[in-house]
Amino acid sequence: MKMFKVPLLFFCFFFLLKFVVPHVIPKRLEAPLENLQLLNLGLCFADEAQISAVICLLQSAPRLHTLKIEEELANVEQSDMDAVREYLSTPNCVEEDLIALRKIKLDGFVNTTNERFFMKLMLAHCPSLVEVTLTPANSIEEPEISLFYLEVLQFPQASPNVDILLE
């Protein structure tokens, strides 16, 4: 029964953010998601509302230990990409470290700047992180895969024990 409530809550929350109040993004939910331990979602790294909603959920789930993201691609304007990049680079984008988050899986990366900004943010704010798994999209070529992976390896890491794997 509880498994049903979290996706429904996320859908309602995202709908509210995207269509009802698209320019007001809370930093966290008023009532924390105490029982949320696994968050599995599709995400477009060019959609500021989606990125903001995910950051809000992460900040509102103190026991979240696994984050799985399947990238959803979209045709977007450069201004949309710039807005997401600006949001992710603000100093208070993540207000508190995500102390319970231990695993991140990014499936379908295509080596965009926004993906790199997001991964940099996660690595910097997850002191308990033990594993990050990166899986490229089928459309991405080998040089781009290596470039993305090598850049992620160089990002500052809050966890001294994190293994960054490429699948």
pLDDT of residue 77: 65
Amino acid at 34: E
Contact 66, 34 (CB under 8 A): no
Q: What is the pLDDT of residue 13?
A: 47
Which of 22-26, 73-77, 100-104 shows the lowest per-residue confidence on average (mean pLDDT)?
22-26
- 53: pLDDT strictly greater than 70: yes
* Distance spanning both ends of the chain, measured CA to CA: 33
The model's pTM is 0.82
Residue 6 pLDDT level (bands cut at 50, 70, 90): very low
How far is residue 118 CA from its own chain's centroid? Answer: 6
C-alpha distances in angstroms, 24 versus 10, 81, 130? Answer: 16, 19, 33
pLDDT at 99: 95
Read off the pLDDT of each residue in 60-80 and give the average, rounded to a whole number: 83
**pLDDT of 3 strictly over 60:** no
Q: How far, in Å, CA of 28 to CA of 152, rounded?
A: 26
Give dist(CA 84, CA 86) in Å, integer: 5
E strand residue ranges, 5-159: 38-43, 66-71, 103-109, 131-136
